[in-house]
Structure formats: C-alpha cells, structure tokens
Amino acid sequence: MRQLKSARESQSRNPERPESYTVRVAPTKESILFSPRSVLVTGGAGFIGSNYLRYVVPRYPETRFVNLDALTYAGNLGNLTAIESADNYSFVRGDITDATLVASLFASHAFDAVVHFAAESHVDRSILDPTAFVTTNVHGTLVLLQAARDAWKSTSLPVRFHHISTDEVFGSLGYEGEFRVDTPYNPRSPYAASKAAADHLVRAFGTTYDFPYVLTNTSNNYGPFQFPEKLIPLVLRNAASRLPIPIYGKGENVRDWLFVEDHCEALDTVLRRAPLQSTYLIGGSEEVSNIDLVHQLLSLFDELAGRNEEPSTDLITFVSDRPGHDFRYALDSTPIRDDLGWTPRHDLKSGLRKTVAWYLENQEWLDGILNQEYLSYYDTQYSERG
Ligand code: NAD
Ligand code: TYD
C-alpha cells in the first residue's frame, strides 16, 4: 500500500492522527479535496441510496455512477426513474457478497470511490432473523473492503471508501447526553451489532492496510421513497388505508430525525471534503418522542389529505414493545457543522410536511410495494403484538 499512502497523503491526511479514530483536521469549508470520476454506489435502489443517486447523478455529469444492488425486498428500481437514463448512471443487479462480481466491476470501471449503503437495515427484521444481517452487513462489507484494497494497492491517484453507518452502534441513551465520535460502541440489536462489526472492519482496514476510508454515523432518516416498514412511512400507509397505527410500548422512546435530502448533502460533503480515516456524526438535531412524532404526522396527514372526518390519531394503537428497545438516540453533529460547513436545510416541521405531501401524491409507488412479501412480513411482525 506504499504508493497508495503517498497518493493519500496529498489528500489532507493528518500525520499526527491521535489513537482515537476521530480525526479533527479542519479543512477549509470551500476546499474540494476529492473529486471522484468513477463511483461504485452499493444499495442505490434502497431509500437513502436512491435519494443520494438522484442528488449526485445530475449534479456531477462528468462522474460515472454504477449502482450495485441485489434488489432485496427493500430495493426498488422505481425509486430511480428520474435518473435511470442519465448517461453517467448504470445499474448492475448483484450481491455485495459476490467477490467475483465485485472484483470484475472494479476491473471494468476503475472506481476511485465507493459509497457503501447496501445493508439489511430494519431492526425489527433483525430480531425475527439476524442471519441476513451478518451476511450482508458484515461479510458483504468485508468483500467490498478487500476488493477496494486490492484494486487500489498500486494506484497513485486519490481514492476513498465511504462507509455509511448508523447511530445505533452506540447503544441507548437516557434522558441526557449525546453520542460523540469517541463514544464507545454498545450495539443492542442484531442490526446494530452487524453495523458495528462492519464499522470495526472498516477502521481495522484503515489501521492495518492504511486503507483510505471515511465513515459516517447518521440518525433516523425520513422522506420520499422510504419503505413502509419504518415508522414514518408505515404510519402514513396505515393512515391512508385506515388501519391501526401501532406504537411500541408507551411511545416514549426518542429519536433524532434527519430529512433524507439533507443527509445526502452531508454525505456528498464528507466524501469530497473530509480528511481520510475520519468519522463524522450526522444528525438532524430534531429529537422527539415517537408518540409526539406520530401526532404531528397524523395532523399533517389530515390537513394535507383534506380529511374532515374523525381524526387519524384515533387509529393509534399501543402494542407490545420491541425487545431490547433502545430508549433514546442523539448525536453531537458539531464537528460536521464546524469543520465542513454542513447544516440541515429542513427542520422537522418542514421535512414532515414535504414527506406527507410526497406520500399522498405517490400512492401508486406505495401500491407497488404492498405485495405479498410486505403483507406477510406485516402479519408476522404485528399479528402477535396485541
Ligand atoms: P434500505 O433497506 O432502504 O436499502 C438497502 C438497499 O441495499 C436495498 O436497495 C437492497 O436491495 C440493497 N441490498 C441489501 N442487501 C444487499 C446485498 N447483499 N447486496 C447488494 N445490495 C443489497 O436501507 P436505507 O434505509 O436506505 O439505509 C442505507 C444505509 O444507511 C444502510 O447501510 C443503513 O444501515 C444506513 N442507515 C440508515 C438509516 C435510516 O434511517 N434509514 C439511518 C442511519 C444509517
Ligand atoms: P424505526 O423506524 O424502525 O427505526 P429505528 O428502530 O431504527 O429507530 O422505528 C423508529 C421508532 O419507532 C423506534 O423507537 C420504534 C418505533 N416504532 C413503533 O413504535 N411502531 C412501529 O410500527 C415501528 C416500525 C417503529
């Protein structure tokens, strides 16, 4: 990795990196440190990956984006119609655990960046069966890391691997405090444990092979094209179909919500401007309990749907709690704001309004998802909850 190292040293790496994996080198807000020409995006047919591709493909016409996605239940090419015929975009259906395929893509596309979204991403599914979470999130990440390391070992060009992770790796907070980059990991669900393992692998590659990564941990995203297994789209789907709206426990758990388009802008900023081997936490600084969130969401739904009948909040049903339910997440996003000048453009109110309007206008998209797989998942997840 010697030549790789010298290439990367020109990318503002801090030679005095402390033992902690936090690198606090402040690049100037205007400086563009890295401008990739050929990017492998994994999981680009999912919720955040598709929002990211719709953001970057038109914005960087000189850069080629290859979307590698297995199209699991969560992947949907219907999320990408806006960019599917762009000259700088192509799609490959395949699995990130397929080392032969991944190596051949590196050989044919000469990627200088990987933006790695592909994952099993739903906590409740990980409780039902963790197997796919370890296969995709841990083994799949290892396959990508090895392919990138091998492809880049003798390059003299700047290259980087952006690993997308979650705040859930840090565990659960009480009423006070925030996660910081140096908060010890304490994953408590199979999903969080698999993401934590992947994060550790990425950083271990950094330490052992001087591998050029950047890593981001993000809070709960919401917005257009989110699969209706997660809280916000599930509430909107059930409200539209006049079904009970399940709230786990007493609805007191707190999440920090980030509008997905703001997340995509933050990811683009980090890929281009963050120092190598750095971690940034990306939060919306919009903490709210689940029950308060659902009340806000349903009153917006009634307003925008023009409903004058009984309020949708009447559909709220308290059901048995998620096992090991993390109480609260909150992130200290000061470093990304101070170092890189990113700040979310949407507060919770404006983001929720856009989201409700989008789901109301895109019933067809939603209908396409409500297939047998979804209905049988829904039945398994909710029929026993009482
Ligand atoms: P998602 O479940 O909507 O999409 C995942 C995508 O990955 C799908 O298109 C799926 O087909 C694809 N995929 C799954 N397994 C694959 C495999 N083996 N090979 C290739 N493709 C595969 O997920 P999301 O909500 O868009 O999350 C994207 C990333 O962001 C994940 O890594 C997740 O852990 C992380 N994240 C999500 C949130 C959130 O609120 N959604 C918050 C923090 C971090
Ligand atoms: P979710 O969207 O699954 O995201 P995460 O578990 O990654 O935070 O859930 C958000 C919160 O909403 C979480 O505290 C669990 C809760 N929840 C419900 O109360 N009812 C539901 O039907 C779902 C899916 C989630």
Query: pLDDT tens digit string along 38-70?
Result: 999 999 999 999 999 999 999 999 999 999 999
- 257 and 231 Cβ atoms separated by less than 8 Å: no
Q: Enumerate helices (H) and strands (E) in the chain, giving the number of each.
A: 14, 12
CA distance 244 to 232: 14
Which H/E stretch holds residue 240?
helix 231-240
Concerning whether 9 is annotated as a catalytic residue, the answer is: no
Q: In this structure, what token pair is assigned to residue 254?
A: 């707190």
List pLDDT tens digits, range 240-287: 999 999 999 999 999 999 999 999 999 999 999 999 999 999 999 999
**What is the fold, at CATH topology level, of the domain defined by 2-220+259-285+326-344?**
Rossmann fold (3.40.50)
- 178 and 133 Cβ atoms separated by less than 8 Å: no
Concerning whether 167 is annotated as a catalytic residue, the answer is: yes
CA distance 326 to 254: 9
DSSP classification of residue 127: H
Q: Is the pLDDT of residue 24 over 80?
A: no
In a 3-state reduction of DSSP, which class is residue 352?
helix
- 327 and 242 Cβ atoms separated by less than 8 Å: no
Domains in the chain: boundaries: 2-220+259-285+326-344
Concerning whether 199 is annotated as a catalytic residue, the answer is: no
The protein residue with its alpha carbon nearest to ligand 1, atom 10, reads: 75
Which of 134-148 are b and which e, b meaning 16 or more Cβ less than 10 Å from the residue's Cβ?
bebbbbbbbbbbbbb
Ligand 2 pocket, Cβ-based, cut-off 6 angstroms: 123, 220, 230-231, 234, 246-248, 253, 255, 290, 322
List pLDDT tens digits, range 136-194: 999 999 999 999 999 999 998 999 999 999 999 999 999 999 999 999 999 999 999 99
DSSP output for 177-227: --B-TTSPP---SHHHHHHHHHHHHHHHHHHHH---EEEEEE-EEESTT--
The protein residue with its alpha carbon nearest to ligand 2, atom 20, reads: 247
197 Cβ closer than 6 Å to some ligand 1 atom: no
Q: Which atom of ligand 2 is nearest to the CA of 166?
A: 7
Please report the pLDDT score of residue 385 as a whole number.
86
Which of 120, 231, 378 maximizes ligand 2 atoms within 8 Å of its Cβ, making it the mutation to test the pocket?
Answer: 231
C-alpha separations of 33 from 8, 82, 181 in Å: 11, 29, 22
Q: Ligand 1 centroid to 189 CA: how many Å? A: 16
Q: Any idea of the CA torsion for 159, 115, 268, 254, to the nearest 10 degrees? A: -140
Q: Is the pLDDT of residue 304 over 50?
A: yes
List pLDDT tens digits, range 203-239: 999 999 999 999 999 999 999 999 999 999 999 999 9
Phi, psi (degrees; rounded to nearest 5) at 258: -130, 125
Angle subtended at Cα 24 by Cα 20 and Cα 28, rounded to the nearest 5 degrees: 165
Please report the pLDDT score of residue 16 as a whole number.
38
Q: Ligand 2 centroid to 244 CA: how many Å? A: 15
Ligand number, closest to the Cα atom of 188: 2
Q: Is the pLDDT of residue 2 over 70?
A: no
Please report the pLDDT score of residue 352 as a whole number.
98
